[in-house]
Amino acid sequence: MPIPGIATLGLILLCSALGGCVTSGDPAADGIDRAVAGELTFMQQTYMTMDRRCRQVKRPTAVLTQKPQHGTVRMLTRKAKAVYGPGAYEHCDGKVGKALAFEYTSAPDYRGRDSFAVRVRYSDGEIRHGRYEVEVR
């Protein structure tokens, strides 16, 4: 789930400086993940860290800080492409590594909007907060 506007630029610059990055697939332009009721759905935003040689560094960990009201979330490891953008780690863009990913499943009979929030900790102690918005159909 990308963050619109200026926050995205700030996030990219932060990733570039510290070596931790937020990766993503092809989320909708509005930043909302789409899910089918009752089916497992991987959220587009994931978290990973690489060193300056684009080698995998210990995968970040996370805690759920706000549970979804109409479903469940599971944290797991999933391969993703790095997205650093301009800066010291830009050469790692597109490199594949193990990322912290989130899997959402709604209640089978639920349709509508749901959300959840996470606190992510990188191995160097950096903390980031993520929020996921899900449209269940």
pLDDT at 22 over 80: no
Q: Considering the domain boundaries, does residue 33 fall inside one?
A: yes
CATH number of domain containing 101: 2.60.40.1080
Q: Considering the domain boundaries, does residue 1 fall inside one?
A: no
Average pLDDT over residues 86-100: 93
pTM for the structure as a whole: 0.76
pLDDT at 23 over 70: no
pLDDT at 40 over 90: yes
Average pLDDT over residues 8-26: 44
Q: Considering the domain boundaries, does residue 111 fall inside one?
A: yes
Q: Considering the domain boundaries, does residue 85 fall inside one?
A: yes
Q: Which two tokens stand for residue 136?
A: 């269940």
pLDDT at 17: 39
Residues in the chain: 137
- Positive or negative, the CA dihedral 86, 87, 89, 91 is positive
Residue pointed to by tokens 């060193």 = 51
- Rounded CA separation 41/59 (Å): 21
Q: Considering the domain boundaries, does residue 106 fall inside one?
A: yes
Average pLDDT over residues 48-60: 92
Q: Considering the domain boundaries, does residue 94 fall inside one?
A: yes
pLDDT at 28: 53
Question: Whole domain around residue 80: which residue ranges?
Answer: 6-136
pLDDT at 83 over 60: yes
Do the beta carbons of residue 60 and residue 123 sit within 8 Å?
A: yes
Q: Which two tokens stand for residue 13?
A: 């610059």
Do the beta carbons of residue 130 and residue 65 sit within 8 Å?
A: no
Number of domains in the chain: 1
Q: Name the pLDDT band for 12 (thresholds 50, 70, 90).
A: very low
